[in-house]
Amino acid sequence: MQAPDFSLSGKTALITGSTQGLGFEIAKAYAASGARVIINGRSEARVMRALRGIKEGGGRAEPLVHDVGDLAEQAQVFEQLCSRSGAPDILVNNVGVRLRKSLGESSAEEIQALIHIDLIAAMHLSKLAAQRMAQDGLAGRIITLTSIADRVARPGDAIYAVAKHGLAGLVKALAVEYGPAGITSNGIAPGTFATESNVQLAGDPVQGPRVLGRNPLERWAQPHEIAGAAVFLASPSASYVNGHILVVDGGFSIAF
């Protein structure tokens, strides 16, 4: 009987926005599973700090200091990465920003900025990665961090929900377009994780308890709890999983 294979040995994984939060947890999990990870971020200091954290844990890692929202430079930077390190076998679209504002309170510039970073940048990088994976004959994996906001919405968080719904569409579009090349596209929809970006929400005297009350597990997720889903979708054991979004939210999105 063949056991499930969750090893990422011999693979190279580019994780955008991987200097902290869920991106860093995914990078650590991939490195522990045998992959060489590309740590990405805009700040060289933060990238190098994350890089040291991976290496101190016995993992292999390389830096990529780059703002993925800079589309004018993105193709050149990606090609330089491929020339230096080889095409990534795994791309994780993790970069994202949030603006907790209603649509009515949001300016045109704020709307465009969030959609650009959360959706357009990921779409552009996914295109570059998928094309290179196909060119090199890689059985590539593209994994996109969406959110439970990719299927629901709430007042005061309009633009984020629109962007995440778009990313859910991107997961499916990539799956059908690049599936014939042996490249899979899947998503992870995290719920309420206790990351740096959620500190304010967790501490809110009204919203904090409301989040806990909605969740059947009655707690926030710890950042490392994203690791299993991320490793699975990148591993040989997920070879026939394509176009799927794996929800990791403790049951939050099914409770009412």
| Residue positions annotated with a catalytic role | 160
Helix extents (H) in 33-107: 44-56, 71-85
Cβ atoms of 124 and 71 within 8 Å: the answer is: yes
221: phi > 0 → left, psi -120 to 50 → alpha, else beta; which? beta
CA 229, CA 33: separation in Å to the nearest integer?
Answer: 13
Please choose, from the candidates 142, 238, 153, the residue with its C-alpha nearest in 3D space to the C-alpha of residue 187: 142
Separation of alpha carbons 173 and 149, rounded Å: 19
Write the single-letter amino acid at 3. Answer: A
The residues near 38 (Cβ < 8 Å, ≥ 6 apart) are 12, 13, 14, 15, 18, 61, 62, 63, 64, 81, 85, 88
Edge-to-edge strand list for the sheet holding 60-65: 60-65, 36-41, 12-15, 90-93, 141-145, 184-190, 245-248
